[in-house]
């Protein structure tokens, strides 16, 4: 799975190098037709799949570095029919392919939030890939933030100092009842697009590339993440613990550093 | 009819002609301190990015510029205003922090070959924002942007190790702060008049913008309150004299209220969205441009306070 995401990222990096206006002002021409082929080939993508999926994002990115994005499903996961993956694509970001959430059929109704960097005016898309392979898309348009809000972090030293610290935040759950939980890991999530004047080289990307959230060793959500994810990646989600057990989050970053935290329920 | 046409033409002309050098008003605080007060607007081609306060201080031998303006064009107007008033050389251009409205005029002073002075973290901050600022502000500022360069400091100030510069019988003390409005705020103090330039550590009238740390900023504001000052020149808004502590307290109130309310939302496992919809609304009418930046302040504070 990693490999496919890396491929996707390579594709979009290539797109970037070949003159698509990744670093330029908001492109006038829609990128989506190109991105669709790059990421999904000739597979049809059903648009406005509002009967299946909801995407929530603020109309305006208040802080370009932290834009909350929520995806909810309207149809509960069942072993026979479930959303296998949710791909998040932010058309006009330097790296449009932003995340792939691999989802368990055990999750019930999907309700997942994360925080993204949004560089400029853009469509933000969530594409559900069902277990039968079909693709269903919803999207929202997000206006860029104004002025001095750069997608860069605010305090690089503080971010590095607490690198790898983790939290699992949730209320005391009741077995059999849905509960909301949040996994956060402190990480600067350097995007690799910053140029170092002194060395005349790009500062290497250093970001969280995978977050696996499991319950009693069964994966609930496994996120392949890209550089669009905000500093200090956060995944908020709902799940139903049907027995007592251990909720665990495992993080791997692009330098293959691993971080883990668990919580008994 | 002719007259009407004339008036019409004049009206059109006055709309067409954007900001010119003659509209660039310089106020004098006395004792060699001059400033241009920025407008409470977002940067635009029309206001040439002149939205922050920029100042200069004239000593016996030298001039120091404190923030260079929001575009190359503003920087050149500021330089022009200095040259109108004195033949003394411009020895120093001080940037209180990286934001465009405080640094984009730097290039206008290149021919003066001044020391560009900033916080030790200013260069890194500039580097990481440069691409983004360039692409964004080229569009926002139009022709006023032409000539703008990202000029890093040639002289730095380390946190907790203030330096002094002498303009000729006029000593300015430059202090670098730990993360507050940004992670590289610099303040300037003139001992002769007991005047403090806060950079964007203080906003008056215009809603403050948080690009650093809410906890750090609140701490810096408390520290500032204990200083012995006659005058405070904020990053934005009118200079404050006898009421300068009121101004700091207003800003302190804004952030303290916000912090309390965000903390309680976080304690209740609430979200950023809940916070942006409910926090600090009682402050709405107290600040200019509140709608533009308040939710952003909440968002940035929220992700910081999550780690307490």
Say which residue the tokens 């829609």 belong to.
A30
For residue A47, pLDDT beyond 80: yes
On whether the CB atoms of residues A106 and A116 are closer than 8 A, the answer is no
Chain B partners of A197 at a C-beta cutoff of 8 Å? 127, 152
Confidence of residue A30 (pLDDT cuts 50, 70, 90): confident
Q: Which residue has the higher pLDDT, A145 or A228?
A: A228
Q: What is residue B128's predicted lDDT score, i.e. its pLDDT?
A: 82
Element (DSSP H or E) covering residue B95: none
CA dist B40 and B300 (Å) reads 22
Chain A partners of B43 at a C-beta cutoff of 8 Å? 147
Q: What is residue A29's predicted lDDT score, i.e. its pLDDT?
A: 72
The beta-carbon neighbor of A184 closest among B136, B295, B306 is B306
Q: What is residue A188's predicted lDDT score, i.e. its pLDDT?
A: 86
In angstroms, what separates the C-alpha of A99 from chain B's closest C-alpha? 20
The beta-carbon neighbor of B129 closest among A150, A165, A234 is A150
The tokens of B52 are what? Answer: 């922050």
Q: How far apart, in Å, do the first and last CA atoms of chain A sit?
A: 29
Chain A partners of B152 at a C-beta cutoff of 8 Å? 197
Identify the closest residue of chain A to B150 by CA–CA distance.
A197
pLDDT tens readout for residues A90-107: 999 888 999 999 999 999
Q: What is residue A152's predicted lDDT score, i.e. its pLDDT?
A: 64
- The reply to whether B212 touches chain A by the CB within 8 Å rule is yes
Q: What is the mean pLDDT of residues A202-227?
A: 93
Q: Where are the beta strands (DSSP E) in chain A?
A: 45-46, 53-56, 67-73, 83-90, 97-103, 111-116, 122-130, 135-142, 166-170, 179-185, 195-196, 201-202, 208-215, 218-225, 234-239, 246-253, 258-264
On whether the CB atoms of residues A194 and A229 are closer than 8 A, the answer is no
Mutate to test the interface with B, among A69, A114, A145, A148 (most CBs of B within 10 A): A148
For residue A144, pLDDT beyond 90: no
Q: What is residue A94's predicted lDDT score, i.e. its pLDDT?
A: 86
Q: What is the mean pLDDT of residues A203-213?
A: 91
Contact call for A151 and B273, based on CB within 8 A: no
pTM for the complete prediction?
0.89
- As a whole number, the mean pLDDT across chain A is 86
Mutate to test the interface with A, among B272, B294, B300, B301 (most CBs of A within 10 A): B272
CA distances in angstroms from B259 to A10, B46, B253, B273, listed in the order given: 42, 35, 10, 15
- The reply to whether B182 touches chain A by the CB within 8 Å rule is yes
- The reply to whether B243 touches chain A by the CB within 8 Å rule is no
Identify the closest residue of chain B to A169 by CA–CA distance.
B269
Identify the closest residue of chain A to B274 by CA–CA distance.
A68
Q: What is the mean pLDDT of residues A60-79?
A: 93
Backbone angles phi, psi at B246, to 5 degrees: -60, -45
- The reply to whether A199 touches chain B by the CB within 8 Å rule is no
Confidence of residue A23 (pLDDT cuts 50, 70, 90): very low
Q: What is residue A250's predicted lDDT score, i.e. its pLDDT?
A: 98
- pLDDT (tens, 9 = 90+) of chain B, 308 residues, equals 444 444 444 443 434 345 566 689 999 999 999 999 999 999 999 999 999 999 999 999 999 999 999 999 999 999 999 999 999 999 999 999 999 999 999 999 999 999 999 999 999 889 888 888 998 899 999 999 999 999 999 999 999 999 999 999 999 999 999 999 999 999 999 999 999 999 999 999 999 999 999 999 999 999 999 999 999 999 999 999 999 999 999 999 999 999 999 999 999 999 999 999 999 999 999 999 999 999 999 999 999 999 99
Q: What is the mean pLDDT of residues A224-251?
A: 95
Q: What is residue B73's predicted lDDT score, i.e. its pLDDT?
A: 98
Q: What is residue A146's predicted lDDT score, i.e. its pLDDT?
A: 58
CB burial of residue B148 (10 Å; 0-12, 13-18, 19+) = buried
pLDDT tens readout for residues B29-45: 999 999 999 999 999 99
Q: Which residue has the higher pLDDT, A18 or A200?
A: A200
Q: Which residue has the higher pLDDT, A10 or B32?
A: B32
**What share of chain A has pLDDT > 70, as a percent?**
82
Instruction: Give the side-chain half-sphere CA count within 13 A for A175.
Output: 7
The beta-carbon neighbor of A180 closest among B183, B209, B269 is B269
- A 81-110 → B contacts, CB under 8 A: none
In angstroms, what separates the C-alpha of B39 from chain A's closest C-alpha? 15
CA distances in angstroms from B46 to A132, B15, B185, listed in the order given: 55, 10, 28
Q: What angle do CA B93, B95, B97 make, to 5 degrees?
A: 175
Three-state DSSP state, A243 = coil
For residue A149, pLDDT beyond 90: no
Q: What is residue B9's predicted lDDT score, i.e. its pLDDT?
A: 43
Q: What is residue A256's predicted lDDT score, i.e. its pLDDT?
A: 96
Identify the closest residue of chain A to B41 by CA–CA distance.
A147
């Amino acid at each position: 799975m990693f490999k496919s995401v890396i491929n996707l990222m390579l594709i979009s990096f290539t797109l970037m190098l070949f003159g698509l206006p990744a670093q330029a002002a908001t492109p006038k021409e829609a990128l989506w037709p190109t991105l669709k082929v790059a990421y999904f080939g000739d597979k049809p993508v059903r648009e406005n799949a509002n009967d299946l999926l909801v995407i929530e994002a603020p109309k305006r990115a208040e802080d370009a570095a932290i834009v909350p994005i929520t995806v909810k499903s309207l149809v509960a996961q069942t072993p026979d029919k479930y959303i296998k993956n949710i791909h998040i694509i932010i058309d006009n970001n330097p790296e449009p392919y932003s995340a792939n959430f691999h989802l368990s059929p055990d999750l019930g109704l999907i309700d997942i939030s994360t925080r993204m960097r949004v560089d400029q005016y853009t469509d933000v898309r969530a594409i559900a890939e069902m277990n039968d392979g079909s693709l269903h898309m919803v999207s929202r348009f997000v206006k860029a933030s104004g002025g001095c809000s750069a997608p860069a972090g605010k305090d690089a030293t503080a971010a590095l100092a607490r690198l790898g610290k983790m939290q699992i935040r949730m209320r005391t759950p009741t077995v059999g009842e849905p509960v909301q939980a949040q996994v956060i890991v402190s990480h600067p999530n350097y995007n690799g697009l910053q140029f170092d004047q002194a060395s005349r080289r790009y500062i290497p990307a250093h970001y969280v590339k995978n977050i696996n959230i499991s319950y009693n060793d069964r994966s609930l959500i496994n996120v392949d993440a890209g550089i669009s994810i905000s500093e200090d990646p956060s995944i908020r989600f709902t799940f139903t613990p049907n027995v007592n057990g251990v909720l665990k989050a495992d993080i791997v970053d692009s330098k293959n550093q691993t971080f883990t935290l668990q919580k008994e329920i | 009819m002719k007259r009407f046409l004339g008036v019409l033409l004049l009206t059109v002309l006055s709309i067409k002609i954007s900001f010119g050098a003659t509209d660039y008003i310089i106020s004098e605080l006395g004792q060699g301190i001059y400033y241009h007060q920025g407008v409470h607007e977002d940067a635009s081609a029309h206001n040439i990015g002149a939205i922050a306060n920029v100042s200069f201080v004239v000593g016996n031998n030298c001039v120091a510029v404190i923030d260079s303006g929001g575009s190359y064009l503003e920087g050149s107007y500021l330089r022009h205003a200095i040259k109108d008033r004195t033949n003394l050389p411009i020895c120093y251009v001080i940037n209180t922090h990286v934001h465009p409205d405080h640094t984009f005029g730097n290039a206008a002073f290149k021919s003066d070959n001044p020391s560009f002075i900033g916080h030790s973290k200013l260069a890194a901050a500039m580097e990481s924002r440069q691409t983004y600022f360039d692409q964004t502000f080229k569009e926002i500022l139009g022709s006023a942007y032409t000539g703008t360069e990202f000029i890093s400091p040639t002289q730095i100030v380390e946190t907790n190790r203030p330096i002094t510069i002498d303009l000729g019988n006029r000593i300015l003390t430059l202090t670098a702060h730990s993360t507050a409005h940004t992670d590289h705020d610099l303040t300037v103090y003139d001992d002769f008049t007991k005047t403090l330039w806060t950079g964007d550590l203080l906003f008056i009238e215009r809603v403050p913008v948080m690009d650093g740390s809410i906890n750090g900023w609140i701490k810096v504001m408390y520290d500032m309150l204990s200083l012995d000052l006659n005058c405070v020149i904020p990053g934005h808004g009118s200079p404050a004299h006898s009421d300068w502590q009121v101004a700091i307290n207003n800003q302190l109130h804004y952030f303290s209220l916000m912090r309390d309310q965000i903390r309680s939302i976080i304690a209740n496992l609430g979200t950023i969205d809940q916070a942006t919809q409910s926090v600090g609304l009682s402050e709405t009418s107290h600040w200019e441009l509140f709608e533009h930046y308040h939710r952003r302040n909440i968002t940035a504070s929220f992700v910081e306070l999550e780690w307490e």
